[in-house]
Structure 1
Amino acid sequence: MTGSLTGITVVEFGQFVSVPFCGQLMADAGARVIKVEPPDGDSYRRTLQLAPLESRQFAIKNRGKESVALDLGHPDAAEVVDRLVGIADVVLVNMSPAAVARRGLDWATLSRRHPRLVLGLVSGYGTVGPDAGLPGMDVVLQAHSGLLAALGAEDGGVPRHSEVQVADYAGALLLLAGVSMALLARDRTGRGQQVDVSLLGAAMTMQNNQLSHVDAVDGWRAGFVAEELPRLRRQGAGRDTINAARAAHQTDKLTLTGHYRVFGTADGAIAVGAGSPPTQERLAAVVGLPVERLRGDPDVVRRRLAELLVTRTSAEWITELRAVAVPCAEVRTLDEVLADPHVEAEGLVADFDHPAIGRYRALGTPIRFGDTPSEPARPSPAFAAHTTAVLRELGLTAAEVDGLVRSGAAVHAVPGPTAVTDRTRSSA
């Protein structure tokens, strides 16, 4: 059997997370993904290197790809880029809108010569609106979108950004969905199109439970934002005062119930998700509370459950709650999850033998197919390992490839166990 994207060629102009992770998922599904890196490599190659130009952050977002190194700002690279786009079904780019236009990777330029192309763009703020040209990274867009505050984690009263890059990965998944839809549309119409995803939109998507405005009950917002909030800030009000003023207006704000949250236990913590009436009844029976009380005041229920659950271990509570089908789980760290038997059985982790960094374990395939497997094929590529082969495939002669390397428009790897590039060797 072949993957659902077998026969699709993707050319990726992407660094960091959103576009590379989307490209990795497409490679898992059988697509050929040619990653175009700058002359000094993807930025993640130098993040806590395990070997020269190899890091875990690069390895876990770029498996199954080919690496071609080009200087997109070099005049001799433009023809190579056009030839690459010519063999592509999909081009993925995460640059600012200005950089996209400067490199000739915008839809207006590409579609004139390649009308069947699907162009997937990721940027911080999108391609329209007053902030479209601003640079943006995950932490910035989590802050701008309200997600950072909504997640609730704080350090000394300041919202804390963890290493969980929510906007980046949500953006990658939205891009994967959008590009897949565009490929389906192309099958019907014969025409490609641009797919535009912003990290701002991705961060807002993650807040969909709270992201609504009903005029009848939320009409206070306009006055609060335009008048009350600026006045409080002029008066020097702190975050607690401002949050209290905002909360006073919210007559139907969404709150977690006392039986859908995390509780401490005698040796750790567990999450309890009794979200439906039947599970609430079963939870009430286990903890010895009348179900009417369990569905009562959330704060009272939370305190009562917290007092009870802390008296026994996580394993004891999980055994008892799962016996009556109440959703629950121990709060774990990744150290435990990486070796979890169920995670292994579902293929959510995969092992790789990397020629430079050795054996490693990483995320497997989170999407499962019945007939068209999505499988991690091979580890991430060495820097510029495929430059020569791909350029020759595009019709360039060996002399032309050497000319591009001498001019600095391209970088290619020197054969050998460490895959040292010409540029690296000459500067050593």
Structure 2
Amino acid sequence: MGPLNGIRVVDLTAMVSGPVAATILADQGADVIKVEPIQGEQMRFMGAPHNGVPATFFSCNRGKRSIALDLKSNEGKDVLRDLVRQADVLIENFRPGAIERMGFGEAALRALKSDIIAVSINGFGEQGPYAQSRVYDPVIQALSGATDIQADRTTGRPAMFRIIIADKVAALTAAQAIASALYHRERTGEGQAIKVSMLDAMISFFWPEGMGGLVYAEREFDVRKEQGTMDLIFETQDGHITAGTVSDKEWAGLCRALRREDLIDDERFATSMARIVNADVRKKIVADAVSAWSSAEILARFQAEGVPSAPLLNRTELLDNAQVVANGTISRTEYAGFGEVRQPVPPARFSKTPSEISGPAPRLGEHGRSILAELGYDEARQQAMIDAKTLRIPRD
């Protein structure tokens, strides 16, 4: 039983930010009910399906129950109201104002369940020129400085992270905030609203070192001019590795591993600050030295000298990496209709209330009948909703 066992979450979200936040809660034991439109949420149609479920949808929605409702209908809204009455948390990621227009703003929710945690995830916040704009991850990367951080250090051309990073940073932010709100409610009995913007979450995420030049207004500087032009990726005789040093001890170890002891006391590299000032020439010297070795040989030498280092793994190789295997990072579970499914285990390991992946991602409306039965809807009422097309259940 996870730490959130007994907590019920109504998940009205779509795509990535909200679904991933709710999945984190599901992994930690919450009963997450995914309320989808009759046609299903957009992520169900993105990617090649396996057993009717694309891989990304599976990973964003594992362990949830699904009910498909027409929330424009009175019957659909009645079901949602009944769900809210039994819920601890409601999460939505509509554009600002949409949930109020649906009739489920915070005041309406609190009238149904006074201590509910009402969570809204949006792209830009509720005010300002972008507030009502449609949003996808690249737009947030553009506005948050991500493309500047990822820019090619030689040409200066902006670049983007090749993953959906803004949604997932917002998801992590929301999940942590929900846990804090539940703790506050446990102490005081008070529910509250939580608002998370993807833009705010990303800027906060980047700030500690990515925005270091902006911290002290009186000493503002352009970080790009301080970070050098080369990444810590070095080519060996048979591949690529990474290696980096911060302390003098690590630098000395790197020099010994490369058989370049002459560099240890070189005034250009003798201190941490000197190595930062002369970063480009330092990295060029290290790159030339590393290129004389095979990956296995130089990594073994680096490890022996206590130099932080690792091979560059492709995404398939990480499945069999010795450290990943030792950690048990990837679960391999047989699910009916899916075969073996690989998922990362919940990364926070609880000693008393372990998290776990409780099941696969649901088919659209898979649990509609059982959820309605829990709410007291008899079979005749359920069938009437199906006939009226305000409830959808999957065809067996």
Give the TM-score normalised by structure 2: 0.90
SS in 2 for 1:191: coil
Q: Tell me the secondary structure at the aligned position of residue 234 of structure 2.
A: strand
CA change 1:189–1:254 in 2 (3 A) is: farther
Runs of at least 5 residues in structure 1 that lack an aligned partner in the other structure: 219-248, 417-428
1:329-374 deviation per Cα after TM superposition (whole angstroms, max 9, x unaligned): 1111111012223213323211132333322212221111111101
Which string of whole-angstrom CA distances, capped at 9 and with x for unpartnered residues, describes residues 2-24 of structure 1? 21111111111111111111111
Distance 1:352 1:311 in 2: 43
In the alignment, does 2:268 pair up with 1:293? Answer: yes
Which position in structure 2 is the counterpart of 1:383? Answer: 364
CA contact (8 A) 1:387 1:413 kept: no
Q: How many residues align?
A: 383
**Cα distance, 1:155–1:85 mapped onto 2, change above 3 Å:** farther
Choose which of 281, 296, 312 in structure 1 pairs with 2:293. 312
- For 1:344, the equivalent position in structure 2 comes to 325
Specify the alignment match of 2:151 in structure 1.
152
Distance 1:104 1:278, change over 3 A: farther
For residue 319 of structure 1, give the secondary structure of its aligned residue in structure 2.
helix
The answer to which of 113-122 and 165-174 deviates more is 113-122
Shift of 1:302: 1.1
- Residue 283 (structure 1) aligned to one of 254, 257, 260: 254
1:140 equivalenced with 2:134 (yes/no): no
Alignment partners' CA distance in 1, 2:387 and 2:16: 31
Tell which deviates more after alignment, 365-374 or 94-103. 94-103
Alpha-carbon offset, residue 69 of structure 1: 0.5
Q: CA RMSD in A?
A: 2.3
User: Matched residues in 1 for 2:153 and 2:137: separation?
Assistant: 17
Q: Which residue is equivalent to 1:250?
A: 222
Is residue 46 from structure 1 mapped to residue 17 from structure 2 by the alignment? no
Deviation at 1:407, TM superposition (A): 1.7
* Secondary structure of the corresponding residue to residue 97 of structure 1: coil
What residue number does 1:217 align with? Answer: 219
Residue range with higher mean Cα deviation, 47-56 or 368-377:
47-56
Q: Give the aligned residue type for 1:125.
A: F
Matched, 1:411 2:392: yes
Q: Which secondary structure state, in structure 2, belongs to the residue aligned with residue 306 of structure 1?
A: helix
Which amino acid counterpart does residue 307 of structure 2 have in structure 1? V
State the partner residue of 1:94. 93
**Would you say 1:261 and 2:232 are equivalent positions?**
yes
Partner of 1:4: 3
Partner of 1:363: 344
What residue in structure 2 maps to residue 242 of structure 1?
none
Q: CA deviation at 1:145?
A: 1.1
What does 1:150-229 align with in structure 2 at a 5 Å threshold?
A: 150-152=149-151, 159-208=158-207, 209-211=209-211, 212-218=214-220
- Residues in 1 aligned to 2:114 and 2:248: alpha-carbon distance in whole angstroms: 53
Paired AA for residue 409 in structure 1: T
Q: Secondary structure at the residue paired with 2:97? A: helix
Q: Specify the alignment match of 1:226 in structure 2.
A: none
Q: Which residue of 2 aligns with 1:73?
A: 72
1:38 and 1:352 map into 2 onto residues whose CA distance is 29
| Structure 1 counterpart of 2:350, one-letter code | F
Q: Distance in 2 between matches of 1:273 and 1:267?
A: 19
CA separation of 1:56/1:153 partners in 2, compared to 1, >3 Å: closer, same or farther? farther
* Equivalent residue in structure 2 for 1:326, among 307, 313, 318: 307
Residue 334 of structure 1 aligns to a residue in which SS? coil
Equivalent residues of 1:167, 1:199 under 8 A apart: yes
Distance 1:104 1:189 in 2: 27
- Counterpart of 1:23, as a letter, is A
Structure 1 residue 152 displacement after superposition: 2.3
1:158–1:257 distance in 2 versus 1, CA, 3 Å: closer
TM-score calculated relative to the size of structure 1: 0.84
Q: Decide whether the 8 Å contact of 1:90 with 1:119 is kept in 2.
A: yes
Quote the Cα distance in structure 1 between the aligned partners of 2:228 and 2:7: 44
How far apart, CA to CA, are the structure 2 residues paired with 1:317 and 1:188?
55
Query: Which residue number in structure 2 is paired with residue 221 of structure 1?
Result: none
User: Secondary structure of the equivalent of 2:131?
Assistant: coil
**Structure 2 Cα separation of the partners of residues 278 and 383 of structure 1:** 57
Q: Structure 2: which amino acid aligns with 1:369?
A: F
Q: Is the CA contact 1:54–1:357 (under 8 Å) kept in the aligned structure 2?
A: no
1:266 is paired with a residue whose SS is coil
How far residue 158 of structure 1 moved from its aligned partner, in angstroms, is 5.3
